[in-house]
């Protein structure tokens, strides 16, 4: 049976407690995502054409991460040229700085920086500045949620590099920021040239040269404080177990690091228009988290039980577009029906253990979690799960999830000893 051998359903309370504490420990020391160990962003450079002094390349970024997308204000890709290269022109993206081009007279390059940083264009970019998969303000979806938007591309014309294949020096020291830290990029590896097929599929052409860079995310590098917490409730007990106090930080004594719900100071006035800051500005709560996820055990029937999930945004500075949750619970291999949610099973520990569900909103109904203070600053969905009355029990916190992640980040759970206790046989 699915639940067999899982620590929480086994015998003694001490083991349960220890295991649960272990599972709910913060992820700060995780060097990679345990739910998505192979997740990466692969950046592919295809040299499409030699030019008198260099080459034209199409750069494509593939998001091969199950849970992490890149939201506003978008990606920033950097590298270091190994020689005196310049970027004559770009389509579908731009460098943030032109740098010192004073050695040029008539024709001024797009960028002369030794270590350019490239950002996407906005969707309203002029038509002749666009190419396929560009111009989404730097936003890249997860493959699971929106495969068509999990890729980003731009084209650049590189000058003053050698023109024969052997002499092209691939750029070094790639960096990917979103714009915060978290990603580490490996070396560029020259591999087999990409093949392109004509629309009728009857002819293939290939890149003159192709190299790949792989970037992986580490929560440890990102050094983020937790960004979400979990509260637990049930129709069978009026006690709601709220997020642990100070889950994501504490209110400072003067209460100046958060905004009171009824405060007349609108955050927009604090921030000024158009200013992006990675720091959340949260409503004052005991947990101080930007987002709270409530897991509510709604109904318990003979063969089924029903859970309602509510996600609430306390961050005045962020709309969570394309949010997703990953939830671990031993009964998630028996999801029977979903209401207002999309679902994909994740099997991070290989075949056989199917206890993790990726859940996300339905476009255009609840896929955006609007900023705090907004009428739709919370979204909801429900799950109907088939249960085995032999193993299903309301005891020992079984009805509650083991772990919850928001957009790949581990959420702070209440301590197991505080879980709401539920009557043994609620409705029969
Ligand atoms: C990146 O992810 C892709 C898709 O999951 C995988 O095929 C590839 O091996 C990964 N690359 C690395 C270096 O892990
Ligand atoms: C790349 O980064 C390494 C370590 O940060 C540094 O030692 C090296 O000089 C850099 N290379 C270039 C070409 O900037
Ligand atoms: C680059 O990575 C993609 C996806 O992982 C793979 O299909 C391709 O073969 C790689 N190309 C090179 C040149 O390594
Ligand atoms: C969130 O979206 C709403 C509606 O599109 C917009 O008015 C608001 O400025 C956005 N907030 C942020 C922080 O981007
Ligand atoms: C996991 O469980 C779900 C829900 O019952 C099912 O649809 C899916 O096929 C299962 N996946 C695997 C890999 O066992
Ligand atoms: C509800 O939960 C609280 C806290 O766990 C517990 O003290 C109380 O006895 C529970 N009430 C019922 C009716 O089970
Ligand atoms: C109660 C119940 O339906 N359990 C099933 C859950 O899913 C696993 C694997 O798909 C089955 O083996 C169980 O019988």
* pLDDT tens string 108-166: 999 999 999 999 999 999 999 999 999 999 999 999 999 999 999 999 999 987 656 55
What is the distance between the alpha carbons of residues 358 and 369, in angstroms, rounded to a whole number?
17
CA distances from residue 234 to 259, 296, 315, 328, 402 in whole angstroms, order as listed? 29, 5, 26, 18, 16
**Distance linking the first and last C-alpha atoms of the chain:** 21
CA–centroid distance, residue 81 to ligand 2 (Å): 10
What is the distance between the alpha carbons of residues 383 and 339, in angstroms, rounded to a whole number?
6
Residue 70: its pLDDT value, please? 96
Enumerate residues lining ligand 7, CB below 6 A. Answer: 2, 333-334, 386-388
- Burial code of 76-107, b = ≥16 C-beta within 10 A, e = fewer? bbbbebeeebbbbebbbbbbeebbeeeeeeee
Q: Between 3.40.50.20, 2.60.40.290, 2.30.330.10, 3.40.190.10, what CATH number should domain 226-418 receive? A: 2.60.40.290
CA–centroid distance, residue 69 to ligand 4 (Å): 18
Pick the more confident residue, 157 or 377.
157
* CB of 144 closer than 6 angstroms to any ligand 3 atom: no
* CB of 184 closer than 6 angstroms to any ligand 1 atom: no
Do strands 258-259 and 342-346 pair parallel, antiparallel, or not at all (unpaired)? unpaired
> What's the whole-model pTM score?
0.86
Enumerate residues lining ligand 5, CB below 6 A. Answer: 333-335, 345, 347, 354
Residue 1: its pLDDT value, please? 35
CATH placement of domain 14-221: 2.60.40.290
For residue 232, is pLDDT > 80?
Answer: yes
Pick the more confident residue, 399 or 15.
399
233-242 pLDDT, tens digit per residue, is 999 888 899 9
* CB of 80 closer than 6 angstroms to any ligand 2 atom: yes
CA–centroid distance, residue 42 to ligand 3 (Å): 8
For residue 426, is pLDDT > 60?
Answer: no
Residues 6 or more apart whose CB falls under 8 angstroms from that of 33 comprise 39, 65, 67, 68, 217, 219, 408
Mean pLDDT of the 185-199 span? 95
Pick the more confident residue, 410 or 10.
410
Sign of the Cα torsion 150, 155, 159, 164 reads positive
What is the distance between the alpha carbons of residues 400 and 371, in angstroms, rounded to a whole number?
27
For residue 17, is pLDDT > 80?
Answer: no
What is the distance between the alpha carbons of residues 237 and 129, in angstroms, rounded to a whole number?
59
Q: Where in the chain is the domain with CATH 2.60.40.290?
A: 14-221, 226-418
């Amino acid at each position: 049976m699915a639940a067999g051998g899982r620590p929480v359903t086994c015998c003694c309370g001490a083991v349960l407690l220890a295991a649960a504490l272990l599972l709910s420990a913060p992820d700060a020391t995780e060097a990679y995502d345990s739910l998505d160990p192979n997740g990466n962003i692969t950046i592919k450079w295809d040299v499409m054409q030699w030019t008198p002094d260099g080459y034209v390349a199409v750069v494509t970024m593939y998001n091969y991460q199950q849970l992490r997308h890149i939201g506003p204000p978008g990606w920033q890709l950097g590298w270091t040229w190994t020689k005196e290269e310049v970027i004559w022109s770009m389509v579908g993206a731009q460098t943030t700085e032109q740098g010192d081009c004073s050695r040029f007279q008539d024709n001024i390059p797009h960028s002369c920086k030794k270590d350019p940083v490239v950002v996407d264009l906005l969707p309203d970019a002029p038509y002749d500045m666009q190419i396929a998969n560009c111009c989404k303000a730097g936003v890249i979806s997860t493959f699971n949620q929106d495969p068509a938007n999990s890729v980003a591309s731009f084209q650049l014309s590189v000058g003053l590099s050698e023109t024969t294949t052997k002499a092209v020096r691939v750029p070094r020291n790639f960096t990917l920021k979103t714009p915060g830290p978290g990603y580490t990029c490996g070396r560029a590896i020259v591999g087999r040239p990409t093949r392109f097929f004509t629309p009728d599929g009857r002819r293939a052409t290939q890149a003159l040269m192709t190299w790949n860079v792989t970037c992986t995310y580490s929560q440890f590098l990102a050094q983020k404080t937790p960004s979400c917490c979990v509260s637990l409730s049930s129709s069978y007990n009026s006690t709601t177990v709220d997020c642990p106090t100070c889950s994501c930080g504490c209110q400072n004594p003067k209460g100046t690091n958060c905004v009171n719900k009824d405060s007349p100071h609108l955050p927009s006035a604090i921030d000024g228009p158009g200013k992006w800051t990675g720091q959340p500005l949260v409503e004052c709560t005991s947990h101080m988290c930007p987002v709270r996820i409530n897991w509510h055990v709604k109904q318990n029937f003979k063969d089924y039980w029903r859970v309602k999930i509510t996600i609430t945004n306390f961050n005045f500075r962020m709309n969570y577009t394309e949010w997703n949750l990953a939830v671990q619970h031993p009964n998630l291999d028996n999801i029977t029906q979903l209401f207002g949610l999309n679902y994909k099973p994740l099997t991070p520990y290989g075949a056989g253990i199917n206890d993790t569900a990726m859940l996300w909103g339905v476009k255009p109904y609840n896929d955006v979690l609007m900023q705090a203070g907004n009428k739709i600053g919370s979204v909801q969905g429900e799950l109907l799960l088939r249960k085995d009355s032999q193993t299903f029990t309301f005891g020992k916190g079984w009805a509650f999830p083991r772990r919850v992640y928001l957009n790949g980040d581990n959420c702070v759970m209440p301590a197991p000893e505080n879980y709401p206790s539920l009557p043994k046989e609620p409705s029969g």
